[in-house]
Amino acid sequence: MNKALLESFFRHLGQYVTLSEEEFHDILSFFEERNLAKKEILMHAGGPCTHTHVVLKGCLHMYFVNEKGVERTVQFALENWWLTDLLAFQNKANTDFSIQAVEKSEVLSISLDQQGQLLEKYPQLERYFRLIYQTAYGASIMKMKYLSDFSKEEIYFHFTEHYPKFAQRVPQYLIASFLGLTPEYVSEIRAKKRS
């Protein structure tokens, strides 16, 4: 895998825990590297959820297809973000979600057993994962507030103002899906704002 990407991941981990370069390279041996084409599926709804994934380059989204056949994105992951169906992952169960590459992506994937062995060998990584999940959980509580408090229009503009990186990189129809809006509605309010 590209050296610059691994260095970026090393710096990311270094924000949370102290690791030597040697330890980092040993840690990488617990992971599988995957290169994904744009739109490639990494996890299939209905199948087992065997791995959790961290994005080194690119963007993933996790979604389900609702009863009307409409795709609904529940989570995105850009660089250094983790993504999986955590409940299915920790129970080694089947998942209702799919994970797909939004753009050409490079990810590191780890199984529950490998993660268990990794954390046994490097217990300092417990702190890293604790902080990652703490923030993700906190953000999901905040998202629930926005979704139920804001008007549809406010939800869209709040999101694009607070996460401009996402708004620039991710196709509008996926942002719409994540916010529970239709692509048509998003086109309409963007046109209204421009005019």
Give least dist CB 132 to a second copy, A.
9
Site for a second copy (CB under 8 A): which residue of 2, 134, 182, 187? 134
Site for a second copy (CB under 8 A): which residue of 15, 18, 148, 195? 148
The continuous run of DSSP H or E covering 29 comes out as none
Q: Say if residues 129 and 89 touch (Cβ distance below 8 Å).
A: no
Distance (Å, whole) CA 168 – CA 165 = 5
Q: Which two tokens stand for residue 100?
A: 């797909």
Distance (Å, whole) CA 32 – CA 61 = 19
Identify residue 132 by its one-letter amino acid code. I
Residues 39-78: x where in contact with a second copy by CB under 8 A, - otherwise, as a string: -----------------------x-x-xx----x-xx---
Q: How far is CA 134 from the centre of its chain?
A: 15
- Does the footprint of a second copy cover residue 15 (CB under 8 A)? no
Site for a second copy (CB under 8 A): which residue of 3, 21, 69, 145? 145
With respect to a second copy, which residue has the nearer C-beta, 52 or 105? 52
- Does the footprint of a second copy cover residue 123 (CB under 8 A)? yes
Distance (Å, whole) CA 34 – CA 83 = 14
Give least dist CB 141 to a second copy, A.
5
Backbone phi, psi, residue 80, to 5°: 70, 15
With respect to a second copy, which residue has the nearer C-beta, 137 or 187? 137
With respect to a second copy, which residue has the nearer C-beta, 105 or 115? 115
